[in-house]
Amino acid sequence: MSTVYDYSIRDAYGKEVSLSAFKGKVLVIVNTATGCGFTPQYEPLEKMYEAYHDKGLEIIDIPCNQFGGQAPGSDEEIHEFCTLNYDTKFDQFKKSDVNGANELPLYTFLKSQKGFAGFDASNKLTPILEDLLGKADPDYAKKPDIKWNFTKFIIDRSGNVAARFEPTADMKDVEAFAVSLL
């Protein structure tokens, strides 16, 4: 059976990075955007990184412009935005597709391991997302595709996909789950 360690992604400079470099770590793999209603999630992600990095937590930030064109800048511009506005210190990788013909093979694997399980009903953005996605595809909820920016996959220390959190999930729940694997 495959693990995330079988995949590589490109860093912001285009250099291929094997995820096997993160063996033994708990990973949070997240597709991000700089102009999204969920962009403020960079703040709790950075706090989580600072609190638990020394205990083995890594955040894999993969900017993506597939959802509302909300990550239009270059890799350098995105990095500058994140460091200036959220003082991010975790690794940011090359802007990439997470759905469709050009999606990263890593995302094909992640989605095969944990499909879409619905949005958090208590999040104020849930009705907006459900309406938007439902108009585009009435069967969207039955498909494993990434639905929006800031979908998070948590990977255990053995490289297995342990959980998927949609962008509407409470970041405290994301953190608690990641910490439980440390």
Q: In angstroms, rounded to a whole number, what is the distance separating the alpha carbons of residues 65 and 149?
A: 9
How far, in Å, CA of 150 to CA of 178, rounded? 15
- Amino acid, res. 161: V
Rounded Cα–Cα distance for residues 157 and 135 (Å): 39
Contact yes or no for 53/21 (Cβ under 8 A): no
Catalytic residue among 9, 30, 36, 71, which? 36
Q: Exposed e or buried b for every residue in 99-127, given b needs 16+ CB within 10 A?
A: beeebbebbebbbebbebeebeeebebbe
Phi, psi (deg, nearest 5) at residue 34: -90, -15
DSSP state of 93: B
64 counts as catalytic: no
Give catalytic residue positions.
36
